[in-house]
């Protein structure tokens, strides 16, 4: 977890499905694939539970630190790259 934060903005890396597979020993189901594709390369908000990161709108899929980069507080984001539900 990023020290002292429970929710933060992050930029997801591109090619999430392949990266995700490196950190999970089990097969990825179609719902996880769909979710990863929906956030691939986008800016999202992450929440932390027990030190593990999850996208705020979907707390079922653990997102290892290697899948995202923190967006510093106050940094502008493009509205076209932020996940819209």
Residue 24 predicted with pLDDT over 70: yes
Domain coordinates in residue numbering, the chain: 7-70
Helix (H) / strand (E) containing 40:
none
Report CA dihedral (68, 73, 79, 81) to the nearest 10 degrees: -10
State the pLDDT confidence band at 1, using cuts at 50, 70 and 90: very low
State residue 51's pLDDT score: 85
- Tell which residue, 46, 44, 17, has the closest CA to residue 33: 17
Q: Which residues of 41-62 are buried (b: 16+ CB within 10 A; e: fewer)?
A: ebbbebeeeeeebbbeebeebe
State residue 56's pLDDT score: 94
State residue 79's pLDDT score: 43
State residue 15's pLDDT score: 96
């Amino acid at each position: 977890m990023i020290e002292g934060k429970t929710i933060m903005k992050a930029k997801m890396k591109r090619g999430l499905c392949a990266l995700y597979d490196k950190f999970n020993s089990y097969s990825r189901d179609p719902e996880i694939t769909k979710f990863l594709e929906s956030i691939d390369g986008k800016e999202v908000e992450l929440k932390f539970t027990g030190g593990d990161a999850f996208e705020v709108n979907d707390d079922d899929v653990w997102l290892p630190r290697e899948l995202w980069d923190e967006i510093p507080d106050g940094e502008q984001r493009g509205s076209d790259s932020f996940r819209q539900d």
